[in-house]
Amino acid sequence: MTVGRGPAARRWRYLRAVACVTAVLVSGLLGGALVKPRPGLAQTALTQTAVELELVLAVDASSSVDQAEFVLQMQGFARAFRDPDVLAALRAVNGVAVMLMQWASTSRQSVVVPWTLLRGEADAHEFAAALASAPRQVRAGGTSIAAALDAGYAALAGNAYLGRRQVIDLSGDGRANMGARPSRARDRIAATGATINGLAILNEEPALDRYYVDYVIGGPRAFLITAVDYESFAQAIKRKLIREITGAQMVQAPGGPAGADAPRTESSRRFAAPAMGPVAPPAHVH
């Protein structure tokens, strides 16, 4: 079989590279919910719906996240998908396919809101309602960022959509403390052309943004946004979604890393205007 270029071909190469990981996710961790049998590249491409963006929202639900913080995350996502600026971004593109999963340890990832196609305001409001009412299915466990990333890419590789861009949007408040190195999963996924963006919540680890830049985010136009606490999460995720939906690049300060694929960082405090700057050191708003 000859494999060319483009999203479908990149997915095929990735699936071959992590066949064992995907098999475990399908049969055990995710109960077969994420990856479906693929009859072949040509047939699959013909049966998929073309969209601008495939977006996996990967939400930290590990033991470090208490119930109040978890609710703030989910309500922040719901509020963002009702926001007029996010709705305007959705209207400007050719559809966004989005799903939400919760993650924690190597054996705990769960799809909570399945793939949903957003083409306008009504779709976005329906998705927001599903987010607001979604239960916490992962209630404890360590932090395996690599397992979360592999599960996120399995979701991208096995859905019914063919996006011009594929993004995993991973949010969390701590470093990996179990499983494979996040950078290994990051590098495999970035090599397919997919992007991993991060939202680091700094309430427990003030230097978590540096860790995310070094070991988590990657791929075309990857960027990181930080929130100093869970109360500022909603505003941070709103800005993040707008960038991901539109594909807009962040402003890079003079002297920062060059190139379209250089990671960008943005810091956020509640009610504060965003500040943007070079990756080293990450910018913060005071």
Give residue-wise pLDDT tens across range 86-118. Answer: 999 999 999 999 999 999 988 889 999 999 999
Within 10 A of 111 (CB to CB), how many other CB atoms are there? 18
Contacts for 15-18 with beta carbons within 8 Å, 24 or more apart?
Answer: 15/157, 17/188, 18/150, 18/153, 18/188
- Residue 50 within a domain: yes
- Residue 282 within a domain: no
- Which of 9-13, 136-140, 213-217 shows the lowest per-residue confidence on average (mean pLDDT)? 9-13
- Residue 285 within a domain: no
Written as one letter, the residue type at 225 is: I
Q: What is the DSSP letter of 191?
A: T
Distance, CA of 38 to CA of 44 (rounded, Å):
7
- Residue 98 within a domain: yes
- Residue 286 within a domain: no
Q: Is the pLDDT assigned to residue 264 strictly greater than 90?
A: no
- Residue 186 within a domain: yes
Most confident of 18-27, 42-51, 56-65, 181-190: 181-190
| Number of domains comprising the chain | 1
User: What's the average model confidence in pLDDT over 5-20?
Assistant: 51
- Residue 283 within a domain: no
End-to-end CA distance of the chain: 55
Tokens of 19: 């066949």
CATH of the domain at 213: 3.40.50.410
138: containing domain: 7-277
Tell me: cis bond preceding 84? Omega within 30 of 0 counts: no
